[in-house]
Chain A
């Protein structure tokens, strides 16, 4: 059965902290892993990872894929209250995406 598991389920940190969110996947015919941020409404795209070991960065966010371990991490440094959201990861086949249940991040001022 194809599945994606995220941990932790929820996380509360203080502004300025660094957080690491985990995603493990078991997806047949795996093509890519995607990270999304969901605040009150539509999930917005963060990263798509297809190659193992190559870090992708966007500002304070970075992510890396480990195909040997079937996992990915999302790092957020110097967290801000605006980072509070649910972070979703998805394992993609050609025509289907398997989402985890998400990690709910709360950043306290």
Chain B
């Protein structure tokens, strides 16, 4: 069973540019969530999608947006990049049908974004 796939793995952008990151969840998983990880801040929740609907959003500015497609693949976009957006962006998928036994998150290897 293929795991969570994130592309690209590494990218370098300059301030003011925008970036789109992609995540393909494990087959059958309908929930996709995104996290930003920086040293000292841990994993900070960006948003979660389930069946193409954003169910939850973390405390990030509107420059951070996302979407989910009918095949459960998800993209996140960051516009007008700032130096502070440099981070590892992790995508995670889960079955999340409501029962506690389906709550486990499966993570991709992340997209490491460097903003110069």
Contacts and interface: CB of A to CB of B under 8 A. Distances in A.
Contact of B96 (A34, A95, A102): A95
Nearest to A41: B109
B45 A101 contact: no
Interface of B: 4, 31, 33, 35, 40-45, 48, 50, 55-56, 90, 96, 98, 100-101, 103-110
B1 to A, nearest CB: 14
Interface residues of A, number: 23
Nearest to B108: A42
18 contacts: A34-B105, A41-B109, A41-B110, A42-B90, A42-B108, A42-B110, A43-B90, A45-B104, A45-B106, A88-B42, A90-B43, A92-B103, A94-B103, A96-B45, A97-B45, A98-B45, A99-B35, A99-B43
B29 to A, nearest CB: 13
Contacts of A100: 42
